[in-house]
Each structure stands twice: as structure tokens, then as C-alpha cells.
Amino acid sequence: MNEKLRRLNERVQAARRETESRGETFYPGPSRVHLAAFPPRERWDDWVELDSRAWPRRRERRYVLVPTTCFNCESACGLLAYVDRETLQVRKFEGNPEHPGSRGRNCAKGPATLNQVTDPDRVLYPLKRAAGRGEGRWERVSWDEALDDIAGRIRRAIREGRQNEVMYHVGRPGEDGFTERVLAAWGVDGHNSHTNICSSGGRAGYQYWMGLDRPSPDHANADLILLISAHLESGHYFNPHAQRVVEARQRGAKLVVFDVRLSNTATHADHWISPQPGSEAAILLAIARDLVETDRYDRAFVERWWNWREYLARERPELEPTFASFERAFLELYEDFTFEFAAAESGVPEGTLRTIADLVAQGGTRLSTHNWRSAAAGNLGGWQVSRCLFLLNALMGAVATRGGVYPNAWNKFVPRPIYLPPHPPKWNELTWPAEYPLAMNELSFLLPHFLDEGRGRLEVYFTRVYNPVWTNPDGFRWIEMLTDEARVGLHVALTPSWSETAFFADYVLPMGHGSERHDLHSYETHDAQWVGFRQPVLRTARERLGEAVEDTRQANPGEVWEENEFWIELSWRIDPDGSLGIRKYFESQHRPAARLGVDEYYGWMFANSVPGLPETAAAEGLTPLEWMRRYGAFEVRRGVGPLHEEEVPADELMDVRVDAFGRVYSRAPRPASPNVVPLPTPEPDAEGRRPVGVMVDGRVRRGFPTPSGRLEFYSRTLGEWGWPEYAVPTYIRSHVHPANLAEGQVVLVPTFRLPVQIHTRSANAKWLDEIAHTNPLWINPLDAGRWGGIRTGELVRVETEIGHFVLKAWVTEGIRPGVVACSHHMGRWKPFGESGTGQRQLMATVDLYHAGTRWKMKRRQGSTPYESSDPDTSRIWWSDVGVHQNLTFGVHPDPISGMHCWHQAVRVRRAEPGDAAGDISAETERSREVYRRWLEMTRSAFKVSPDGNRRPYWLLRPLKPGQDAFRLPPEAKRK
Ligand code: SF4
């Protein structure tokens, strides 16, 4: 008996004695564990609990507990499925205590995975449209029929050199690179993501500082936590982060929250700052200037790790190249960023800003900060918000320190897979157009405009767990695109549930929820490295009970599949005889001419690429795959520390060259890295030497993966690629800055999440829908008064640049005057006439009217009770499902980061007679004008590229093509 179990039993015995001393009968709990937080893992094969429905009888139920990973947001928290041994059904999901990121805790959306699995409206079988696209008639088809049709079209496109007509457009990836490698194996630069409507703004600010595009704040050990986000309720990695923020607060750490709304997060803050949207960078620069001016920053760190020499050489060559000169130059650069100026821009009192500066100074190296979406996703130039936020960490030396912020890759572990196909040879301008050479991700939300302009067409377009008609701005343009078969030859929606986009597909193919699929992932939740394993729990439970399962469809409901097996099968059908060179990446290494199976794929990785896992598994008599199937996550390393300080070993230094700023280049080959997929490294020098480190105090240290090897206060990349004015952290006035608003306009903040909903994925979870099913407009009482005394519950009309929407008002002091806000999680709909399809718990039935480029949507019916296999659907008591505001937004691509700048300049007024909640009107001709206006802000690679490339080679890019594909074609040849 191990120690943990022994202690548990002792507690049970103590409780027994105590109960019996009172003359009462003791019931020790069905698994003989009393008051344990989690079932001890030794008992996961046969866990016994009382059946709550049998109460007051004590009916015991026996379970196999199988770990998996939640798929509802990007945090990838661990879940534990309670699979009933008798019925082989999942009874509930709870937290997996073995998961290092979430540590057994979940938000409401984790356990609600059960609702998604049992949702009576989910897609269970492959469907093919049986009428015109979007007309709402479907017929059931076999997987074979769908696969052959799709594979045949892709095969022809590849054979005919039309690789760029194959596109995979992903919403929530939930995995680390599997599908990117599938596309690489096909030789297709067809990866498209949702990132430019999500986090490109946040990413760009970090990328230009440290060469990596995400922060990893060590909240648990911080003394000051500064969030430009709502991280205690939603946001990136929010549950793993929130629990660590709470721990820090329990220790006495201070919390500062910037949010225009009084969010649930702001209610927990010591200081809630509600600035004018878009003014955040001005505040941060004023704080930075103050820290330097008052000498309350980590001078030694800055001198050691910033590329200040490069800044002086390029921007202030007249100054002596000393650190004292740089300090002076810094203060001159930011002399306008006084607290007075920041207060005027933000509307936050000067004294409050000074207090925040004092707290930052006190935080020292224990300053953890985070900005991901929020201001970075809302504003033109929003990417400078995260750049200015990280400036505070960089000034305080709070980088890779206990309680500071790490570069994400140091707190993440991506194991090397069994095959690494080469980079695709062609560049796809539909996703990476020349106008946006510095975009962090694909210009995905401009796709309808690009196709409209004749920049290309699509033969096969996959949308995968992605709903652009609903999620993206300008959704009516997406409907126009998807219903045009000349532009989109075949649209395949890979989705667990109905969506506004799936209605306009040719095939709707049922994919699994988080408990019905395999994926591997690792995220930077804290100062550690871990890998988490998502698995189809019924398949694993059956296997644990002795059954052989070859194909996940055998265990999933209906004919729901998982993507790993789907992509492997599709790839075989694209290249059945191997002549295209594709099939070899999907073959078993053990069984010649057989398909690669998921057991072999993951088994290989766990055995060969995750250090420590084979030994840990062997100690329990398990293979690495068996261990991961049993526990679901493995911690590779804890307390990673300052990797940039590590010295580069002598065998990596050969024929070394050190440039004027200390970057060290070497001819030594890159050391074989048996474990991880290598990090991107900056470009080699002119003689082909590889950058391996940076000279600091006479030693070659690893440094950061930036061109200079240091933290880049000055970005040579931005300077050389056409944006010298933004090469240092600076403040860009937003498109919704008060100076840019017309008379009567206010700012609409349309981006915030609700804690219990998550985009398209959670609407089919009845528990969540009951808690949150509407998105009223937050209006400050001062504005409500100005607009004629609008009261809570009254209908208002919000006019955007391309249309309007109608919704209920919520008058609250929890929002800044002059700003209104509406959550983007609501307003789901299905067109009237869809025959028996579409989710009914949170989707309205609507009429769509369309005349030329004018579109209207009118709600016929909200949610109503209905009979189904789930008796709860007849108890639905809500009818309001909110409004779909995104349909009324034009596209706002930031010319540098590519991020859609979500905030809107709007007018708000009382609804007109005849207006009804959920009404929407938009004109796509006006959205074209908006697109053209924002496109004019760009600086094309054809004009600014300093090296003839389309994009700086060192910048991160999902599914990077081969280096030759980076070369710009002669402009004349461009299609
Ligand atoms: S939805 Fe909640 S439980 Fe699921 S991964 Fe996100 S934070 Fe974790």
C-alpha cells in the first residue's frame, strides 16, 4: 500500500471511530475514501460512488476513470471521465488531479463536456447537401463516399499544380502541429487560422521583443499582477492562470486590472483601471518613463539584455555608444509620455497612474503581466499595447524570473513526431498576401474579399471547428462567398455540432468532442513544461476492460470520428499508390504497407520524444503510451528558469563570428535534438553561419531567438520593413480614439467573453445555456440619460459603419461613459427552412433577406422547449439568445500585425417602431469600401522588402514554406 493510500485509510478509520463514538452507523464512502479531494489514482480502474439519483437509497455504481483534455477553450485543462462499467457511458466529467496545468480544477465549461456529448441536436453522421448550397436539405452518406469525393478533388488539384486551391481553415486547433504536418505532407501551403481575429495583436508585441509570440507569466509567485484582460473569468489559459493568480493573492500579491468594464476579474482587483479604449499604451509608456526617470528599474538587466547598442547605432548615431547615453536617449524618446498626457488620453486620474507606477516599481522582478486579446485585439496599433506592457517587465528585469514573465517556448514542450514532412514548396497569397509582410498570422478574415478580387479560388475548403459566418466580422460576405460555387468548389465542415457556417457546406462531417478524439498539446500555463494527452475515453475504457478497438468510430456515438484517423485515411485516398510521395508519411513503421495507427503515432512520440516518460512508465510496469492513457498528462520539467543565461557549449561553437552588437554565429551543425521540434532561429549570416547565442560579459549565452539575440527594444525588422516609426515601443492612436470619432459616436467594445460560454463550441451545453444566454448592451447611466433616458431592458439600435443591430440595453455603472460593450458569445442563429438541423438550445430561427448587397436578418423564434431524447430540453425556459453583432462589422486589418481591430465607432439610440431584438441589417458594398480603406494603410512587401523576400524569414509562421517560396516574384508576374 502506498503512503497516500495509507494516510487516506487512517483518515477513514479516525472518522469511523469518531462517528461510532456518537453511537451512529459509519458509512465510509463507497470507495472507502472519506473526504478525499480526488479519487486516488490507484483506484481509477474500479472506482465506486453512490448513485445520486437513487437517493436516499445507497446504490453503488462502479466506474473506470479515464483522463482526457477539455476542448472548450485553449487552456487544455485535464478532465477525468467517469465511465460506467455497466453501461459504458460517461456519467460525468471532473478535473484530472494529475494534470500539471489545471491540477484537477476546471471552469464550468469542462464538466459541461457531458452536455455536448449527449446533446440531442449534435451531428452524428456524415451529411451531404441534397439541394443548392445553403438551401438546408441534407442526406446521410457513408464516410467512404465523402472521403473518396474529397480525396479525388484534392488529388486532382495537387496533380495539376493547383495546391493553393486546397485550404484548411481552423478555429480552435487544440493540438500541436498534427494537421500542419498533414498539409506539409501534401505539399500544400493551405493552413488558415482564426488567429488574426483573436490574438495576433497580442502576439506581435511579444514577438518583436523576444522572438516568441506569447508570454508565460508566473502569476503564482508574483508580487504584482498586472492584467490587461479578464483573466480570472475568461481569456487565454484562464483557469490555469486564474488559480495561480488566486494563490498569489492569498500570499498578499496585489492585482491591477485594466478593463473598460467592471468584469468579474476587475471586481477582485486592488486597482481597477477603466481607460479610454486604445489609450493603454500611453499609460504604460508613462509608467515606463517614470521608472527610468526615478531610477526605479533594473539597470543591470537592461544593460545586459536589451539591444540598446543597436538602437543607439541606428537611431542615435551621434551619441556615444554607452549605457548612460541610452538612458538619456530613452528619456528623450518618451519625454512626451508624462502622467499628465497619459491621464488626458486615458481619462484615468494622474494620481491613480502614479500609484500603479509605484506598485510596478515595488513588484520588481516579481511582476507578472498579461495582455492577449482585449486592448491588443480591439484597436488599430493594438499590438503596441503588448509591446509596451512587456516593456515594463523588460525594465524591471522581470523576465524569466520567479514571479515574472517567461517567453512561452520555455514553458512548453512540443515532442518530435514520428514523421516530419518537408516544408511546402509554394507560397499561398490568399492567406499571406504581399500587403501584410509582417502579419502574425493568415489574413483569414479577408478571404471573401480576396476571392472577390480574383486573387484565387478554392477547390476544397475545410472549415474545422471554425464558424467564420458567425465568428468573423462581415459574416454576410462569408455567406456570399460560400454560396458561390465558382469561388469555393467544395466546402467541407468538420464539426461536432451545427454552426452558421456548416449550413453553407457541401459535406458536414461529425468530429468528436474533447472526450472523443486524440490530440497532444502543451501550453505555457506556468513555469514548467508538460504534455497533455486528449483521448477518446470510451475507446480507452473499452480497451482497459479488455476489448480491442481499431477505429475510434467503434467507440464514439453514431459515426462520430476523430481527426487523426480521418486525416490519415484521407491522405491514403489522395495518394493510394504512394506515387505522389504523400502516403509514406501515413504508413506504419512496424507493418509495411499498413496505415499508421494512433497507437503507433502517439506510442512512438511518448517512447522517443518525451524525456523521463519512459522511465516513469516503466517504474509502474507500463509502456509510455499506457501511462499516458492512464494518467493523461506528464510533467517534463518544473522550474525552467532563465534559459537565456545558459552558456552555449563549446561543441556548438565552430569558426565563430561575433557581429558588432554581440550576436554570435557558428558553423557547428545544429545539435541533434531527439526530443523537441526545434524552435525557429533567426537567419544565418552572409557566410551561412547559424546564430547560436549572444556575447554577454565575455561568454556566449543562449539569449533570445531574435535577430540580435537580445530583447529587442529596437526592432531592426520593423525598421527595415517599412515601419521605422514603430521600431521601438510606442503609442499608436486607435481608430476609435476620440479624435477619430464623428459627432455623436461612441466606442463599442464587442470582444469580451462570458465565463461560461466559448464561441460556437459551448452553445450545445444545456447547463451553460441556462446560465448565460443573452448579451445586452452595457450602457453607462450618463449615456443612457443623454440618449433620452434609456432604461434596462429597453431595445436600442446600434449603428455601425455597414449596418445596425437591435438588442436590449443594460444600464450599469460598470462601464466607462462614452463606451458601450456587448459580448460576442451570443446571437447564434439558423435559417428558417433548415430541415431538422441546427442546435435548438441557444440558436434562434431567423429569416434572411437578401437584395443585391443589402442583407437583413429577422428573428422568427428564439429558444423554445422541445421534445428530445433529453427530457431537459422540454424544460427550456429562456427564449432570448442574444444578438449576432459581428454581422454588422466591416473588416479592420491592422496594417502591421494583421489583427482585425474589433472596436467599433457606433451611434446608439432608442429602437425604432417595428424594430425587434435580434434584427440585423448590413450592406456588403459598404463593407467592401471599409476593406479598401484599411487596405490603403498597408505597405506592401513589393515596396518595402529589404531583401527580396515576402516576409522576414525569422518571423514565426504556422506551416512555414520552404525558403525559396519566400522570394517575391517579379511584380509583373504576380497574378
Ligand atoms: S473551458 Fe474551462 S475547463 Fe475547459 S480548458 Fe478552458 S478553462 Fe479549462
DSSP sequence for 377-434: HHSTTTHHHHHHHHHHHHHHT-BSSTTSEEEGGGG---B--S--PPPPSS--TTTS-T
Q: What average pLDDT does the segment 438-453 reach?
A: 97
Q: What is the pLDDT of residues 665-698, one digit of tens each?
A: 999 988 766 444 455 567 888 888 999 999 999 9
Index of the ligand 1 atom closest to the CA of residue 102: 8
Closest CA to 473 of 964, 3, 914, 901: 901
Between the CA of 76 and the centroid of ligand 1 the distance, in Å, is 6
Comparison of pLDDT for 450 and 36, the residue scoring more: 450
888: left (phi over 0), alpha (psi -120 to 50) or beta: alpha
Q: How far apart are CA 250 and CA 245, in angstroms?
A: 9
Torsions phi, psi for 247 (to 5 deg): -60, -45
DSSP bridge pairs for 864: none
pLDDT at position 768 over 80 = yes
Between the CA of 105 and the centroid of ligand 1 the distance, in Å, is 9
- Angle (CA) 791 793 794, round 5°: 65
Between the CA of 64 and the centroid of ligand 1 the distance, in Å, is 22
Burial class (CB in 10 A: 0-12, 13-18, 19+), 973: exposed
Q: What is the DSSP letter of 672?
A: P
Residues of the chain with pLDDT > 90: what percent? 87
Cβ contact 117:90 at 8 Å: yes
> Residue 502: its pLDDT value, please?
96
Decide the pairing of beta strands 904-910 and 854-861: unpaired
973: pLDDT confidence band, cut at 50, 70 and 90? low
> Residue 975: its pLDDT value, please?
44
Q: How far apart are CA 392 and CA 768, in angstroms?
A: 38
Q: What is the pLDDT of residues 200-225, one digit of tens each?
A: 999 999 999 999 999 999 999 999 99
Q: Is 697 helix (H, G, I), strand (E, B) or coil?
A: coil
- Cell numbers at 72, concatenated: 472548450
Q: What is the DSSP letter of 15?
A: H
Distance of CA 938 to the CA centre of its chain: 25
Dihedral in degrees, nearest 10, Cα atoms 445, 447, 452, 453: 100
Q: What average pLDDT does the segment 949-955 reach?
A: 95
Which residue in this structure is represented by grid cell 453514431?
558
Index of the ligand 1 atom closest to the CA of residue 109: 1
Q: How many CB atoms lie within 10 A of CB 684?
A: 14
pLDDT at position 357 over 80 = yes
Which residue in this structure is represented by grid cell 516609426?
725
- Cell numbers at 596, concatenated: 499508421
16: left (phi over 0), alpha (psi -120 to 50) or beta: alpha
Q: How far apart are CA 173 and CA 186, in angstroms?
A: 19
- Cell numbers at 619, concatenated: 517504474
Q: How far apart are CA 454 and CA 912, in angstroms?
A: 40
pLDDT at position 1 over 70 = no
Between the CA of 102 and the centroid of ligand 1 the distance, in Å, is 9
Cβ contact 395:511 at 8 Å: no
Between the CA of 95 and the centroid of ligand 1 the distance, in Å, is 10
- Residue 132's contacts (CB-CB under 8 Å, 6 or more residues apart) are 483
- Helix 598-608 vs helix 563-574: crossing angle, to nearest 10: 110
Which residue in this structure is represented by grid cell 441557444?
842
Burial 70-96 (b: 16+ CB within 10 A, else e): bbbbbbbbbbbbbbbbeeeebebbbbb
Residues of the chain with pLDDT > 70: what percent? 97
In this structure, the residue with its CA closest to atom 8 of ligand 1 is 77
According to DSSP H, which parts of 613-735 are helical? 613-619, 624-631, 716-720
> Residue 673: its pLDDT value, please?
60
836: pLDDT confidence band, cut at 50, 70 and 90? low
Cβ contact 700:677 at 8 Å: no
Q: How many CB atoms lie within 10 A of CB 424?
A: 24
Closest CA to 212 of 751, 954, 960, 972: 954
Which of 68, 77, 515 should be mutated for ligand 1, with most atoms under 8 A from CB?
Answer: 77
Index of the ligand 1 atom closest to the CA of residue 113: 4
pTM, entire model: 0.95
Which of 69, 102, 756 should be mutated for ligand 1, with most atoms under 8 A from CB?
Answer: 102
In this structure, the residue with its CA closest to atom 2 of ligand 1 is 107
> Residue 105: its pLDDT value, please?
95
Please count the CA atoms within 13 angstroms of the CA of 195 that sit on its side-chain side.
22
Q: What average pLDDT does the segment 302-311 reach?
A: 98
Element (H, E) at 207: helix 200-210
pLDDT at position 14 over 90 = no
Which of 75, 231, 265 should be mutated for ligand 1, with most atoms under 8 A from CB?
Answer: 75
Q: Is 31 helix (H, G, I), strand (E, B) or coil?
A: coil
Q: How far is CA 619 from CA 532, 624, 930, in A?
A: 20, 10, 62
> Residue 35: its pLDDT value, please?
63
> Residue 181: its pLDDT value, please?
96
Index of the ligand 1 atom closest to the CA of residue 69: 5
Q: What is the pLDDT of residues 224-248, one digit of tens each?
A: 999 998 888 887 888 999 999 999 9
Between the CA of 1 and the centroid of ligand 1 the distance, in Å, is 34
Which runs of E-coded beta strand occur in 667-813?
Answer: 690-696, 699-701, 746-749, 777-779, 795-799, 803-811
Between the CA of 238 and the centroid of ligand 1 the distance, in Å, is 8
Q: How far is CA 451 from CA 187, 444, 477, 807, 819, in A?
A: 22, 12, 11, 33, 35
759: pLDDT confidence band, cut at 50, 70 and 90? confident
* 6-15, 103-112, 179-188, 882-891: the lowest-pLDDT one: 6-15
Please count the CA atoms within 13 angstroms of the CA of 649 that sit on its side-chain side.
5
Q: How far apart are CA 691 and CA 654, in angstroms?
A: 11
In this structure, the residue with its CA closest to atom 6 of ligand 1 is 73
Ligand 1 environment, Cβ below 6 A: 70, 72-73, 75-77, 102, 106-107, 109-110, 238-239
In this structure, the residue with its CA closest to atom 7 of ligand 1 is 239
Q: How far is CA 302 from CA 70, 299, 322, 369, in A?
A: 40, 5, 13, 18
Q: How far apart are CA 928 and CA 648, in angstroms?
A: 52
- Residue 578's contacts (CB-CB under 8 Å, 6 or more residues apart) are 584
Q: What average pLDDT does the segment 910-920 reach?
A: 96
132: pLDDT confidence band, cut at 50, 70 and 90? very high
Q: What is the pLDDT of residues 453-481, one digit of tens each?
A: 999 999 999 999 899 999 999 999 999 99
Total residues found in the chain within this entry: 975
The Cα diameter of the chain in Å comes to: 94
Task: Annotate 85-127 with DSSP letters as a single string.
Answer: TTT--EEEEEE-TT-TTTTT---TTTTTHHHHHH-TTS--S-E
* 507-521, 699-713, 959-973: the lowest-pLDDT one: 959-973
Closest CA to 898 of 962, 927, 928, 941: 941
Between the CA of 71 and the centroid of ligand 1 the distance, in Å, is 7
Instruction: Give me the chain's average pLDDT, please.
Output: 94
Q: How far apart are CA 171 and CA 186, in angstroms?
A: 21
Between the CA of 543 and the centroid of ligand 1 the distance, in Å, is 27
Torsions phi, psi for 390 (to 5 deg): -65, -25
- Cell numbers at 169, concatenated: 481553415
- Cell numbers at 925, concatenated: 458594398
Cβ contact 624:631 at 8 Å: no
Dihedral in degrees, nearest 10, Cα atoms 620, 626, 630, 631: 80
Index of the ligand 1 atom closest to the CA of residue 758: 1
Q: How far is CA 475 from CA 466, 482, 812, 831, 904, in A?
A: 13, 11, 30, 14, 16
Between the CA of 90 and the centroid of ligand 1 the distance, in Å, is 18
